Amino acid sequence: MKLLLGLYSAVHAFMAALFAMTALMLIAIAARVAWTAFTGGLDASAAEAIIEAMGLLAAAVVALQISQTIAEEEVIRDAHISAPTRVRRFLSRFMVVIVVAVAVEALVATFKAREAPSLLLYAAATLCSVGVILAGWGLFVRLNRYAEELEPEAMAEAKREDAKLK
């Protein structure tokens, strides 16, 4: 069984590396898009290109954060997501990046909607989805807090696992 768990850790490490490489590629593409916009002249199309580069950077942040989360939770800590505290912490780390990425996408869509008003509904729906995600996440954290109070030993174990990162 230890061999199988070691294999899972190796696969998780490989996935974390792939997410990190994806983030680096997105950063390079965003830099190229921004540089092209900057050298092409500072006009409205350059502003749209720079905002598009921001969207790419937001996606890179998501990929990098997922890479870090996988590496810390599954490889370094070798944590098994079963206790309420561990679930809340894992999902919260993931939700932060998702909320930021969707919010940046809403910003990009809003700027694109200036030239194509038919996209305004998409931008508004994307922005509303940020609110729905935040409300759902807040409800989850609130309800999860009650579950954590029922299992104080899980919180203590999670704190001990945090020592592995120091």
**Nearest-angstrom CA–CA distance, 120 and 115:** 10
Q: Please write the tens of the pLDDT for every residue from 25-76.
A: 999 999 999 999 999 888 878 888 888 898 899 889 889 988 998 888 778 8
Comparing CA positions, the residue from 62, 162, 151, 41 lying closest to residue 105 is 62
**Nearest-angstrom CA–CA distance, 88 and 90:** 6
Comparing CA positions, the residue from 126, 54, 58 lying closest to residue 96 is 58
Q: Please write the tens of the pLDDT for every residue from 62-101.
A: 899 889 988 887 788 766 666 677 777 778 877 887 888 8
End-to-end distance of the chain based on CA atoms, in angstroms? 28
Is this structure's pTM higher than 0.85? no
